[in-house]
Each structure stands twice: as C-alpha cells, then as structure tokens.
Structure 1
Amino acid sequence: MEFLINIDVDDLPRAIDFYQSAFGLRPGRSFGASGMEMLGGNAPLYLLAKAPGSQASEGQRRNYRRHWTPVHLDMVVDDVEAAVDRAVAAGAKLEGEIRVNSWGAIATLSDPFGHGFCLLEFRGRGYDALAQEPSGQGTSD
C-alpha cells in the first residue's frame, strides 16, 4: 500500500511557495492549473487547486478559513524552534506555545489555507518511550 497526501488550496502558486519555503519541499510533476506534486518528504504531497465554496463531498463545501479535522499532517523536524520560525516566516500561524512531552516537543500551526499541522521534534527515545506491545502479543522467546 502507498499513501499520498492531498491538500486542497485556493491559490496554487501561493501554496507552492508556502510548502517550498516552510518545509523545503520541491515541485515535482505539474498538473497545470489543477495541481502540483511536491517532493522531499517520505510521501509525495499533492497541492490541488479547488475553488472556495466548491463541493468537497455530499453536503460539504470547501472553505479556507481555519478549520479542524481529526486528520492532519505531522512533520518530524530536527529542531522544532527553527522549523516554527521558518513556517511562520512562510505564512503559517503558530497556535499556542511549543509543548515539551516525554517523547519530545510539538508545535501546532495552520497553513495559509486553514489546514492544521504539527511540527514534532523527537527527543530521547521519541515515540518508543510510549510504545507498548499490542495487547496479547508479547515477544516470542
């Protein structure tokens, strides 16, 4: 199985500039005025030009004001403070303080198109510090 990341935007050139400047992604294949493949992460990211108010799904219209969804991007970075500075300089909005947890640090932001994302800096053992064996599935001897 392969995962692709698709992000609807209302201004494709502005989105290309933001994702290049904020995260160092580079344009891949162009789909003309309808989209751009962005490369540089471990999965391709597709910026898809969709007009505000256009139908997203049954009964849902696109809006590019800040919105919340339980599905969002987490981007792992080496230095969360530097990554926040770069993203904000590119047009992101920091939505609170950087929080430090047992596994590392996290910053919650939104892009210029209303999509939320998190910047994560793993420290120490990262998520391994929290990981547990799946229930009923210990290691075999």
Structure 2
Amino acid sequence: MDIRICIDVPDLERAIGFYTAGLGLRAGRRLGSDWAELLGGGSVIDLLTNAPGTAPLGEAHPQRREYARHWTPVHLDFVVDDVDAVVQRLVSLGAKLEKPIQERRWGRMANLADPFGHGLDLLQFRGRGYDELLQPST
C-alpha cells in the first residue's frame, strides 16, 4: 500500500516554494492549475489549492477551511540531519517556531506551523533514534 499525503493550501506557488526550498523536496507533476506533487520524501505530498472559507465536506457541512493556525491530531514529522539549519530556513520562509528545540533521549525535535496554519515537526535522530527508548542494545 502507498500513502499519499494531501495538504490543502490557499496559495499553491507559495506552498511549493516553502516545501521545496525549506525541506529540500522537489516539485513533481502538475496535475492541473490547483494541484502539484512534491517528491523526495517517503511518500508523495499532494498540495491542493482550496480557498479559505470553502466547505471541505460539502456545503451542508458547517466546517470551513481556515488557514490561520489550527490544531489537529494529525501532523507531519520530517526527519532532518540538522534541525537548527532547517528551523532557520523554514522560519525565513514563513513558518513559526512554536516551541524551542527540545532535547530528547532519541535526538532533537522542533515544533512549527507552516505558513498555512498546519503543524509540522522536525526530528533529528541520534544514536539509535526511537530505539533509544527501548532496552539498551547489547
């Protein structure tokens, strides 16, 4: 099974620039004027243009798209080699660092919001990565 990650954005060109320049992803196919693929991660990321205030589930549903910072229990983690450099680059492209970079047993983590209000985390593993949380290696 493949997983495709879809991110709604109000400005497709700005989103392409943010994710390619900021995270090193590369632009793939354009699937119309309002849809672009980003490649270079473990899964394809589809950027989909949808205007603020539009109904994602149809007009009868009360929810509307909003691109101010919003919290959702789903977010993306990007594994990077140098969390400090990537945070600096993303912030220069419009991201907001929401919490100082944290030191963890498994490495370092930064919590950010992209320019469209979506949460994302940067992870920089050290040692055995998440396996540092398990029994010590022998």
Structure 1 length normalisation: TM-score? Answer: 0.89
1:97-136 equivalent positions in 2, closer than 5 A: 97-131=100-134
User: Partner letter of residue 8 of structure 1?
Assistant: D
Does 1:47 pair with 2:47?
yes
1:102 to partner: Cα distance? 0.6
Per the alignment, residue 66 of structure 1 pairs with: 69
1:39 to partner: Cα distance? 0.7
Structure 1 unmatched ranges of 5 or more = 133-141
- The count of residues paired between Structure 1 and Structure 2 equals 132
1:32 to partner: Cα distance? 2.1
Q: Distance in 2 between matches of 1:59 and 1:103?
A: 41
Per the alignment, residue 33 of structure 2 pairs with: 33
User: Partner letter of residue 88 of structure 2?
Assistant: D
Q: 1:26-79 CA distances to partner (integer Å, 9 max, x unpaired)?
A: 111102222100111111100000010111123321000000001000000011
Q: Distance in 1 between matches of 2:67 and 2:134?
A: 36
Q: Distance in 2 between matches of 1:25 and 1:90?
A: 14
Q: Distance in 2 between matches of 1:70 and 1:29?
A: 29
1:25 to partner: Cα distance? 1.2
User: Partner letter of residue 73 of structure 2?
Assistant: P
SS at match of 1:27: strand
Per the alignment, residue 78 of structure 1 pairs with: 81
SS at match of 2:66: coil
Runs of 4+ in structure 1 displaced over 6 angstroms? none
Does 1:90 pair with 2:89?
no
1:16 to partner: Cα distance? 0.8
1:131 to partner: Cα distance? 3.9
Structure index of larger Rg: 1
Structure 2 unmatched ranges of 5 or more = none
Supply the RMSD in Å over aligned alpha carbons: 1.1
User: Partner letter of residue 128 of structure 1?
Assistant: D
Which is further off, 106-115 or 89-98? 89-98
